[in-house]
Structure 1
Amino acid sequence: MKVTVDQDKCCGAGSCVLAAPDVFDQRDEDGIVVLLDETPGTALHEAVREAAEVCPAGAIEVHG
């Protein structure tokens, strides 16, 4: 699995951080998504897919 984020699309909702805190964080100044792990381990795949699904801005893409 490879994860990418589009910070320009991000609205700072924080749903991704709640779903997969080991993979996503938010910038302190504006809440925009920060990708912590672009190739998360198998144990995190379900949480990452959930994060992508709940992202209101569609800023997260999951490949593979």
Structure 2
Amino acid sequence: DVLYFAGKNTLDISEEYGTPIYVINENTIRERYKNLKILLNSEYENNRIHYAVKANSNLSVF
């Protein structure tokens, strides 16, 4: 059995980048941001979304 993440074999990912590794799905982050923005825009004018660095300080997420 092999675990896949976003269509990628996690064994291949670990061989390429080493372990331990923290893997995130950029499409999931973008989709959740978009959904949050739509919801906020439907209820509030002039809103802004800010990212809490304490949630994840990995610079590649920004």
Structure with more of its chain in strand, by fraction: 1
TM-score of the pair, normalised by structure 2: 0.28
Structure with more of its chain in helix, by fraction: 2
TM-score of the pair, normalised by structure 1: 0.27
The higher radius of gyration belongs to 2
Higher relative contact order (CA 8 A, sep 6+): 1
